[in-house]
Amino acid sequence: MNSGLSRSWSPPPRDVPILTAPRITPTAAELPAVVLDVDLADPLPSVPAVHHDGRRVRQAWALVRLFTEPLGTVLVDVPEDGLRPADLGAAIEAVLGDQLRPAWARPCRSTAWSPPPSPPS
C-alpha cells in the first residue's frame, strides 16, 4: 500500500557547475569568529582560542537568549588563552545589561547567571 515510503530520498545529481556550490576548505590560519547560541538560563560556555580545526579564533559572536527568548547579540574578542565564562558574562552585561535588568526583575526566575546590581543614579 505505501511501499514507496520505505525508500530514502536523495537529490538528483547536478550537472550544471554554476548550480553546484564549491567545496569550502579552510585556507587561513585564523577563524574570524565562532557563533554561539547562549541561553542565560544555562551555564555560560567557555570559548577556546583554537578551533577544533586548528585555526586561531579571533572573536565570538553570541546570540543571547533568556529562557529561549532572544535578547540581542554580542561580539567579543577571544584572548590568546581563550574566553572564560566570566568574561563572556561581563561582555553580555556590558552590551545587553539595560535589556537584562527588566527581564531579571520578573518574579519566579532562577538561572545560572545573575546580573550585577544597577549603578546608583
Amino acid present at 111 = T
**Is 80 exceeded by the pLDDT of residue 2?**
no
**Is 70 exceeded by the pLDDT of residue 39?**
yes
Average pLDDT, integer, range 46-51 = 96
User: Are 70 and 38 a contacting pair, CB within 8 Å?
Assistant: no
Confidence band, pLDDT 50/70/90 cuts, at residue 21: low
For cell 538561572, the residue is 111
3-state class (DSSP) for residue 88:
helix
Between vectors from CA 75 to CA 70 and to CA 80, what angle results, nearest 5°?
135
Average predicted confidence (pLDDT) for the chain: 82
Tell me the pTM: 0.65
Confidence band, pLDDT 50/70/90 cuts, at residue 38: very high
pLDDT one-digit tens code per residue, 70-121? 999 999 999 999 999 999 999 999 999 998 887 777 665 455 556 666 667 6
What is the C-alpha separation between 119 and 62, in angstroms, rounded? Answer: 25
Of the candidates 116, 51, 58, 67, the one whose C-alpha atom is nearest the C-alpha of residue 89 is 116
